[in-house]
Amino acid sequence: MNKINVKQLIFIIIPIFLELLLQILAGNVDKIMVQNDNLATSINQANSILDLLVVTISVLSSASLILINQYKGAKNKEKEALIYKISFYFNLFVGMILSILLFTLAKPSLMLLQVQDNIINDAIIYLMINGGTLFLQALMMSLQSFLRSNEYMKTSLSISIIFNVINVGLNALFLFGFKINPIVAVALGSVISRTIGVIMLLLVVTLKLRINISIKGLFPINFKELKKLISIGLPAAGESFSYSLSQIVIMAFINTIGRNGVLINNLEFISAPAAKTYASIIVLVTYLFVNASSQGMQILLGRYIGAGENELANRLVWKTLIVSIIMSEIFATLFALLSGFIFSIFTNDPEVINLCTKILYIEIALELGRAINIVMVRALQTTGDVMFPTTIAIIFCWLIATVGSLVLGIYLNMGLVGVWISMAADEIIRAIIFIFRWKSGKWKTKNMVAS
């Protein structure tokens, strides 16, 4: 192994990109199909809590992907097989605990979020149904990480396509055929299609990849390997949890912002939360390629680290970073220029469209920082250098993004624009720090397989 296999990387990234695009569709199709600003906002409020925990589970799945690929690089098939089993049941356990918590604490969670009275009941219903079955997403993410680790990206993509088609079909059936409560309709559509997705993934993993995830042989648990999994997953999940929690706090600030940034109490329609709802959809698409390229990078990077190819690892990270920045800025600029047309698809409220347009121009600067952060944080995590990015992210997302949103958005009356400026500042500052951290070379001493 003496050079980066660019063709292999491209074949890894493209299916991941398409699959992530489909995941965004799955996450936002409910908002679009209810065809109502208030209902869409209630779903977005519930999703802000769901996303907090889904991201945490996703990071735990990424931890298994990192170890699996390091063991592949080290050609240690015995330890690789063990990680499949340990990570699967660990994710299932975490998913079950979180499902119970979300189902029982849906109402108090949304009340803490300062959700408006006119939409909170719908948000509670949506959160209870989707949150109460969060373990399904935990299983899906775990199984998808197994497929990606073995470069079965096309298979994973095919299942995602089927899953999304079923989701849209069930939503349409429940909404327009059975004409049941719109919130219940789209929530049930998501849960049923997700169940089908888990079954398909299980069949592929066990029958095609022949990965043994039977609980037989799991005990006694190999605590040394579990510790490695947790040592990567827990701090990384803590970083993601902290970031997502700060976003929830920021959402609570946004929920107190009315038209033109004026604090209000009881308006039937509020422009700031609605603008955040629709802007969030476009923002997810903006950094989609960065997300895909960094995940693809993790697969090869883990193998290079496991094989002790540090120079190849270094070159891979810098190439991924450059391409990610270019693509991210192209998407951000394009969406900003077309913002008027794009947001007219979601809403005909001119105030919401105008506010979303302002946000997307700030996004151009924000996405520069975010592209660097996503690539560099995942690179550091893959090498085993987990605590540094976790600590920096927790400090700055609260000190800059959250406190800045309060000061600029609320006290200085800049509204949602002030919130976005604060988040952009957070991303850019952290990006600079992580670049210097990677250049320091300390990641070369963190190999998990060697230890």
Is the pLDDT reported for residue 258 higher than 70? no
Is the pLDDT reported for residue 336 higher than 90? no
Residue 107 burial (10 A CB sphere; 0-12, 13-18, 19+): middle
The reply to whether 1 falls in a domain is no
Write down the pLDDT at residue 61: 83
The reply to whether 338 falls in a domain is yes
**How many domains is the chain built from?**
1
Letter for the amino acid at 373?
Answer: N
Q: pLDDT (tens digit, 9 = 90+) per residue, 364-423?
A: 999 999 999 999 999 999 998 989 999 998 999 999 999 998 899 888 888 888 888 999
Q: Is the dihedral of CA 104, 279, 20, 27 positive or negative?
A: positive
> What pTM was estimated for this model as a whole?
0.79
Is the pLDDT reported for residue 138 higher than 60? yes
User: Who wins on pLDDT, 268 or 248?
Assistant: 248
Is the pLDDT reported for residue 199 higher than 70? yes
Query: To the nearest 5 percent, what fractions of the chain are helix, strand and coil?
Result: 85, 0, 15
Write down the pLDDT at residue 52: 76
The reply to whether 450 falls in a domain is no
Indicate the DSSP class of residue 445: G
The reply to whether 82 falls in a domain is yes
C-alpha distance from residue 301 to each of 119, 191, 304 (Å): 45, 34, 5
The runs of H, that is alpha helices, within 132-179 are 134-149, 153-172
Write down the pLDDT at residue 344: 78
- The Cα–Cα gap between 284 and 55 comes to 13
- The Cα–Cα gap between 364 and 333 comes to 6
Write down the pLDDT at residue 42: 87
User: Who wins on pLDDT, 380 or 44?
Assistant: 380
Domain interval for residue 78: 6-445
Mean pLDDT of 179-208: 93
- The Cα–Cα gap between 218 and 199 comes to 21
* pLDDT band with cut points at 50, 70 and 90 for residue 274: low
Write down the pLDDT at residue 270: 47
C-alpha distance from residue 85 to each of 73, 211, 449 (Å): 19, 9, 18
Three-state secondary structure call for residue 328: helix
3-state secondary structure 246-301: HHHHHHHHHCCECHHHCECCCCCCCHHHHHHHHHHHHHHHHCHHHHHHHHHHHHHH
* Backbone φ and ψ of 257, nearest 5°: -100, 125
Least confident of 38-47, 252-261, 440-449: 252-261
Least confident of 2-16, 118-132, 323-337: 2-16
Q: Which token pair is 177?
A: 């055929």
Least confident of 79-83, 336-340, 377-381: 336-340
User: Who wins on pLDDT, 160 or 448?
Assistant: 160
Is the pLDDT reported for residue 117 higher than 70? yes
The reply to whether 264 falls in a domain is yes
The reply to whether 124 falls in a domain is yes
Write down the pLDDT at residue 133: 95
User: Who wins on pLDDT, 258 or 161?
Assistant: 161
- The Cα–Cα gap between 387 and 231 comes to 9
Mean pLDDT of 143-164: 90
- The mean pLDDT of the chain is 85
